Amino acid sequence: MVQVSRVGGLAAAAVLALPVLAACSDDPPAAAPPPSASSSPTSSAAPSGPPTLPAAAKGTTPAAAKAFVRYYVSLINYTSDNLDSAEMARRSEAQCKTCRLIFRIVRNMNEAGRRYEGGHWVIDSMEELPSAAGHRQVRALINVDDLQVVFPSGKRKNVRANRTSYTFDLVLRGGSWSVAQIVGVS
């Protein structure tokens, strides 16, 4: 990760980064691979578990792709709240650089004993971009709430709310959508 104050979000350091998961860490990034899901999905999530893929997100239609993006945004919120990226990793392709960055930040936050408060993503609007078979691109305008990074000492670092357009590059894997890349443009 680039050594920028990280308070303004990773988007300030790289266009591909996601501000909601901006870490105020001075730790160098770990070189370990992203986490993998160790349990199989269930039909419904426990209140503290990750969201489950809704029926509307299954299929290959533009509507299913948009529903999948809504689901993936809920996974981003869950990951930020719980610093648990296993389900998000399951729904992401290995080549997704932004996804791998998120997994590394989550791992670093856990190792440092830090946590996030706020920073939830809310989709304002979505549109499908021209796509090919087995591939969809959905652009979403996202409002990200104010975020606080809470350190073990109790110190807090504030990250301002922002509004960013993200393009979610989706591919079909095993009959379901998966995120191949996320590109943000402020």
Q: Do residues 121 and 20 make contact, with C-beta atoms less than 8 angstroms apart?
A: yes
pLDDT at residue number 48:
74
> In angstroms, rounded to a whole number, what is the distance separating the alpha carbons of residues 181 and 81?
22
Whether 3 has a pLDDT exceeding 70, the answer reads no
> In angstroms, rounded to a whole number, what is the distance separating the alpha carbons of residues 31 and 183?
22
pLDDT at residue number 10:
32
Residue 84 lies in a domain: yes
How many CB atoms are located within 10 Å of the residue 28 CB? 9
Residue 39 lies in a domain: no
CB-count burial class (<10 Å; 0-12, 13-18, 19+) for 96: buried
Residue 98 lies in a domain: yes
What's the chain's average pLDDT? 79
Residue 3 lies in a domain: no
Instruction: Give residue 144's domain range.
Output: 10-24+57-185
CA atoms within 13 A on the CB side of 136: 24
> Using one digit for the tens of pLDDT, what is the confidence trace for 148-184?
999 999 999 999 999 999 999 999 998 889 999 999 9
> Using one digit for the tens of pLDDT, what is the confidence trace for 108-152?
999 999 999 999 999 999 999 998 888 999 999 999 999 999 999
Q: Of 28, 165, 12, 173, nearest to 96 (Cα)?
A: 173
Q: Do residues 100 and 130 make contact, with C-beta atoms less than 8 angstroms apart?
A: no
Choice among 47-56, 82-91, 118-127, 162-171 with the minimum mean pLDDT: 47-56
Residue 48 lies in a domain: no
Percent of the chain topping pLDDT 70: 74
pLDDT at residue number 186:
66
What total number of domains does the chain contain? Answer: 1
User: Where are any strands of DSSP class E within the chain?
Assistant: 115-118, 121-129, 135-144, 147-150, 156-159, 162-173, 176-185
Instruction: Indicate which CATH number applies to the domain containing 115.
Output: 3.10.450.50
Residue 110 lies in a domain: yes
pLDDT at residue number 47:
55
Residue 116 lies in a domain: yes
What's the distance, CA 166 to chain centroid? 11
In total, the chain counts a number of residues equal to 186
Whether 26 has a pLDDT exceeding 80, the answer reads no
Q: What's phi and psi for 124, nearest 5 deg?
A: -90, -45
Q: What is this structure's pTM?
A: 0.77
